[in-house]
């Protein structure tokens, strides 16, 4: 079996805010959208980021645990140079992301 991930799916509390962040803030274009329910973004030739409204997601797969702390998913955007990292973090912050630097 090939090691492969084709979908990264996140349940989000506010699909409209998520759309504003990715589309208006970062300039990504949805590959598929069911308004108010789900957004798909092609993030690599064979990888799709899927953002689901939490209620719709729970109807599909069951309860999602919530609470304080970071969600149990990490998404990485690797850059070959520090200047690229700074550019990506600045764009994300300008789009409304909270940027936390590990020390």
Domains and CATH numbers, the chain: 7-63+74-94 (3.10.180.10)
Confidence band (pLDDT; 50, 70, 90) for 1?
very low
Reply yes or no on whether the pLDDT at 99 is more than 90: no
**Mean pLDDT for the stretch of residues 40-65:** 87
Q: What are phi and psi of 10, to 5 degrees?
A: -125, 135
Residues of the chain with pLDDT > 90: what percent?
Answer: 36
Residue among 60, 52, 59 nearest 35 (CA): 52
pTM value surpassing 0.85: no
Residue 3, pLDDT score: 67
Per-residue pLDDT tens digits for 7-27: 888 889 899 999 999 999 999
E strand or H helix that includes residue 38: strand 38-44
């Amino acid at each position: 079996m090939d090691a492969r991930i084709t979908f990264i799916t996140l349940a989000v509390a506010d699909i409209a805010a998520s759309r504003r962040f990715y589309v208006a803030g970062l300039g990504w274009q949805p590959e598929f959208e069911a308004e108010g329910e789900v957004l798909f973004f092609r993030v690599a030739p064979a990888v799709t980021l899927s953002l689901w409204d939490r209620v719709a997601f729970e109807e599909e797969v069951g309860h999602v645990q919530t609470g304080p702390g970071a969600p149990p998913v990490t998404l990485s955007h690797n850059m070959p140079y520090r200047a690229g990292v700074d550019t990506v973090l600045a764009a994300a912050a300008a789009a409304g992301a909270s940027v936390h630097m590990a020390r």
